[in-house]
Chains A and B, each alone.
Chain A
Amino acid sequence: MSETLAKTEEVVKKAKALGADEVIAKTTFGRYRQTRFSNNQIDISVAWNDYATDVVLAWKKRVVATLIRNFQNVDDSVKRLFKLAKVSKENPQYGGFAKGKFHYQKGKADKTLENLESPAEYVFEAIEAAKKEAGPATNTGGVLLTRLEDVYLVSSEGPKGEDRRSSIELSIRAFSQKDASGHGVECSSTIKEFDPARAGRKAGEIARLAKNPKAGVEGRYDVIFDPLLAGHLVDMWGSMTSAYNVMIQQSIFVNKLGQKVASDIVTLRDTPAPYSIGNRVLDDEGVPVKENVLISKGVLKTYLHNTSTAKIFKTETTGNAGIIMPSPWSLEMDAGNMKKDKMFREVKRGLYLTNTWYTRFQNYAAGDFSTIPRDGMFLIEKGEIKQSWKDIRLSDNALKMLNNIVGISKERQQVHWWGFDWGLPAVSPYVLMKDVHITRPK
């Protein structure tokens, strides 16, 4: 057993010795490195080292939690926490922590990401690729982030395990003009699969096409969503399957288990696979993670659970704890049967939207929301991009949109960037949706 796992176990033993009914301690040693750039130059490079142990304990169904930094003052921290439990309030919905001994896959972290020799080179590679596509005057900005986490989890209920998680992400936005931009991302769990120029090329290509945009026109359109924007929607839909979000009605899926919630061609999964930047082998109760099919051929199959929410819904944990809130880890929309080029040819008059941000709801339960497309947004006529647009808003309903998906591409991409409001990575295809409501300021 590693020294850190032993220290983590010691925290659990101390809490148990004080009288706690159930205890989980999770130690994370995180090394994060980030390079931010704008105007084609590096603004700042940042390093964070974080040593933290999350401790959660239950006593007579009272759930309390704390954070211990670098194993400092463990005794005091645990005593204080137990004291807090004694004066806290019973949570009748607390269903206990997961029980049992589990076998975990070995985390496949890429250790080389801890201290890359020249992270700036990846940034410059992406910038040059964007300039090559959109011209030497192209102005770019973005961020390169590497993440390496060693995780040690011990539960008084049996689970004990280690995880190694790694990721590298590059996000680049290229401006060919003040009002004409494109955004590209590159996400990988290892350096081997990582190609920063690919993100730069995508950003540059869209920025070039986006030149001289015209004011968009209100109406209802068939819309092709780029994987980056489709990923944002997948992020939104997937997060709404968390049982917690269902219980507080921040979800369009309340009381819809087993019902048709999407077009027949839609299958949505949570897949914390090794290739994902959301990779992991265990959840926060120490349950091995697994693939969960959330929506299968349009039918809502499950909510995502920890042990407590699973008991409320009379089912089993899905391996998605969050002690308080279960959460997806890495979402995927299954590939469709349409090649991207064919998808474009299918559109007689419609739009191609490449990115969005600032998604806000009037009403999560009803699904009414709007979001603001940014970067390239294009009018398509007879399958071809005819015009670059600007200043439009997508104002629609999240449930209706799921049902209006009429095409899904074979091509998919892993996507994630700062603007994902729910923060999760997604593997997403190009998505063709009918009857999407577009508005603009008056």
Chain B
Amino acid sequence: MDRDIADFTLNYAMGKKVDYAEVRAHRGEHQELVMKNGVLDAYVSMVDSGFCVRVLAEGGIGFASTNKWTKEEAKMIVDIAYKFAKMAKRKDKIAFAEEKSVKTDWRVPQKEKIEDVSPETRIETLMEVDKTLISRGINVAARMFGFGTSLTEKYFVNTEGSVISSYIPRIGFSGFITVVESGKPEQASKQFGYAGGWEALDQWKLTEQMTHEAKVLQRVIKEGKAVRPEKMDLVCGSEVTGIAAHESCGHPMEADRILGREMSQAGRSFIYPKGPFWLGTRIGNSIVTIVDDPTVKNSYGYYEYDDEGIKARRRYLYKNGVINEFLHNRETAAKLGTRSNGASRAVSYDREAIVRMANTFVQPGNMIEEEIFEDVKQGVYMKSFTEWNIDDKRFNQRYVGREAYWIEKGELKHPIARPVIETTTKIFWSAVDAVSKKVGYEAASCGKGDPMQGVPVYTGGPLIRLREVYVK
């Protein structure tokens, strides 16, 4: 990364009639292993670097990027971005919320440096997962693993005087397995992610986790029963709680979506100006508080400053069951007369930073897990999910259980094969009557933006109990 070129780019932009300009440079070292059915298909190792300029001029925004580190290229992208900004000819001019300039340098520490981990160790780690998985007497007919690390260095400067350097190591694993018993397949996918060093592996316990998933699938095939569709209690494990928090709280609370900027892609929100839901409207039971927090140490979505140079902090999205605070970048904050809360993220130098979640989770309650179950006469415990989706207003959603059990008189009984809850955001969060103390997290890649930007996030929460919801 050539910081002088980045500084030159900003200075060149300041020579234009811009209201604001920023330059963001990235350099990433990536290593990715792809393994299919025990065979290492490929080992990919690459260094990627480039820079972009974003310009606000005459009320419009222009953006351009390149991976050629030359002054000629720098001038060229500024010229294009400036031209593009003026081309917008907007009636209502875009403005950015006022923020203080920042000069800082932040880094995520590693206990065991990823840089020191040899390719052989990485390969052996992955081979070990596969070897263990197929040695447990379960017919895991197909396995697909991706295992990667990234070391990302960023340099951000803007016309307001901010100068921010950062360094963030990340490590991720994704597994997709198919178990076949008596000719019947069941499938599971599982993702792990961490900001920090190789010590992540100690926490993940990949072999145990993937083996557990295989056993679960085998048991579902052999013993799983369908649930009789009716209203019943539903206990959601942290994985299900987390996806519901992400989909039906995090996404609809993104202010760009609320203002319509994503209307033709990821969609809008059931929350919109002068609509039935807005800040202060009740959306769930008062024991439900959902936050988005980039500052959870070592979380997959960790950052200290966002990609507009704004200090990260915890955001209380639904607070005590009430819509409380949207996720903002500087553009949306200005439109809604508030301040950015540091939710602007870009996945690469060649992508615009947009409003994103980081780590979205339900806050813990005061019950131990046994108490959550003991009061259930009949119901389903949906520990994890397989199929899931939600409409583009983020209101009509569905989660299908992967690991699930029948609950009778507070005790877990036989596995339930793919139970389904298909409900609305309001019904889901209003039905929650108990929240456990212990929060669990799952790593995920959250998709949004055009072109698609998959950003690392955590989803999570404690066990939650929903009363009298329709399960089929």
Contact = CB atoms under 8 A, between A and B. Distances in A.
B67 A52 contact: yes
Contacts, number: 244
A419 B39 CA distance: 32
Given A39-B260, A46-B84, A139-B260, A418 B450 contact: yes
Nearest to B425: A441
A173 interface: yes
B375 interface: no
Interface in A210-262: 244, 247-250
Contacts of B41: 63, 91, 93, 324
B44 A66 contact: yes
Contacts of A87: 118-120, 123
Nearest to B61: A44
B413 to A, nearest CB: 22
Given A49-B73, A365-B178, A70 B67 contact: yes
Interface stretch (B10-18, B200-208, B278-286, B393-401): B393-401
Contact of B63 (A46, A51, A363): A46
Interface in B22-62: 34, 36-37, 39-50, 60-62
B185 to A, nearest CB: 4
A69 B67 contact: yes
Given A56-B42, A89-B123, A45 B62 contact: yes
A71 B272 CA distance: 48
Contacts of A62: 43
A65 B260 contact: no
B450 A143 contact: yes
A175 B127 CA distance: 51
Nearest to A115: B80
Contact of B119 (A46, A88, A175): A88
Contacts of B64: 46-49
Given A51-B67, A69-B48, A374-B392, A178 B272 contact: yes
A64 B264 contact: no
A363 B221 CA distance: 12
A391 B88 contact: no
Contacts of B80: 47
Given A38-B260, A41-B90, A143-B264, A89 B396 contact: no
Given A44-B61, A44-B62, A393 B261 contact: no
A265 interface: no
A404 B397 CA distance: 26
B396 A393 contact: yes
A171 B224 CA distance: 44
B352 A44 contact: yes
Contacts of A183: 264
Contacts of B118: 87
A371 B389 contact: yes
B66 interface: yes
Nearest to A65: B44
Nearest to B188: A363
Contact of B66 (A49, A66, A67, A369): A49
B154 to A, nearest CB: 17
Contacts of A80: 45
A41 B259 CA distance: 13
A338 interface: no
Q: Which of B81, B141, B424, B450: most chain A Cβ within 10 A? A: B450
Contacts of A70: 67-68
B235 to A, nearest CB: 19
A372 B42 contact: no
A120 B119 CA distance: 48
A16 interface: no
B386 A362 contact: yes
B79 to A, nearest CB: 10
A88 B272 contact: no
Given A42-B60, A141-B264, A370 B43 contact: no
A439 interface: yes
B368 interface: no
Interface in B58-113: 60-68, 73, 76-77, 80-81, 84-85, 87-92, 94
B354 to A, nearest CB: 10
Nearest to A54: B46
B88 A41 contact: yes
B422 A418 contact: no
A249 B142 contact: yes
A154 interface: no
A77 B451 CA distance: 28
Interface string A61-101: 01111110110000001001100100111111100000000
B264 A142 contact: yes
A69 B37 CA distance: 32
A359 B423 contact: no
B389 A370 contact: yes
A120 B87 CA distance: 7
Interface string B178-198: 100000111100000000000
A369 B418 CA distance: 12
A48 B265 CA distance: 20
A91 B45 contact: no
A51 B68 contact: yes
Contacts of B34: 324
Q: Which of B66, B264, B268: most chain A Cβ within 10 A? A: B264
21 contacts: A42-B87, A42-B90, A44-B62, A45-B88, A48-B350, A49-B67, A64-B45, A65-B43, A81-B45, A91-B42, A244-B36, A324-B34, A357-B267, A358-B392, A360-B388, A372-B390, A372-B391, A395-B398, A418-B450, A439-B398, A441-B424
Interface of B: 34, 36-37, 39-50, 60-68, 73, 76-77, 80-81, 84-85, 87-92, 94, 118-120, 123, 127, 141-144, 176, 178, 184-187, 259-265, 267-268, 272, 275, 350, 352, 386-392, 395-398, 400, 418, 422-424, 427, 450-452, 470
Given A141-B262, A374-B392, 6 more contacts: A35-B84, A80-B45, A81-B45, A89-B43, A143-B450, A441-B422
List the 10 closest pairs (A to B, CB-CB), nearest first: A45-B84, A141-B263, A173-B264, A358-B389, A42-B88, A249-B142, A442-B470, A141-B264, A67-B46, A365-B185
